[in-house]
Amino acid sequence: MTKTATGQTIGYARTSTVDQIAGLEAQVTELTAAGVDRLFTEQVSSVAERAQLDAAMAYAREGDSFVVTKLDRLARSVSDLVAIADVLRAKGVALRILSPDIDTSTPMGQLMLNLLAAIAQFERQIMLERQREGIAKAKREGRYAGRQKTAQRHAAKVKELAAAGAKPANIAQELRISRSSVYRLLDRGTGS
């Protein structure tokens, strides 16, 4: 890996569990061999909060390179990878994935990442199309009622808190719904 004249090489290694010590050590060895200046490691599931990934991305500055050993050590999905790459790109940080060899500081690396992004978008569109077809079929068969509106699930609690003297702004904050939803639910309760 070629270092930029001004930037650092930041490495990120992750395993899903604390039992995967050998896997983490192998990543650290590979990243060290790739010449990382600063290494962030963690042992958490990809679906959990990844504090060290967040810290590594926050640490990265314009001109730096961000390096991981494999795609699955960085991202949960291709769309997650694209989102991470977009954040890094906006900061002026190149992303390098050692296996497969993708380096967004090169035209070929950009092409590979763009291909992955196009595939992710295609997969998302196919999934949404199937979802729409499933909903249409369920509606034809009378099995689809739709999703209950978020505020509606809190109607009883809104009325209970209002009866206890809570102000609409406080109710909205406590239940994490909008103030207008609180007023709407209270108006329905009074018959307006």
Report helix, strand or coil for 11.
strand
How far apart are the C-alpha atoms of 42 and 46, rounded to whole Å?
A: 10
Report helix, strand or coil for 171.
helix
Phi then psi for residue 67, to 5 deg, are: -120, 135
Residue 77 annotated to the active site: no
Residues 91/61, Cβ–Cβ less than 8 Å: yes
Check 16, 46, 77, 79 and give the catalytic one: 16
Residues 63/6, Cβ–Cβ less than 8 Å: yes
- Taking residue 65's Cβ as centre, other Cβ atoms within 10 Å add up to 26
Q: What are the residue numbers of the active site?
A: 16
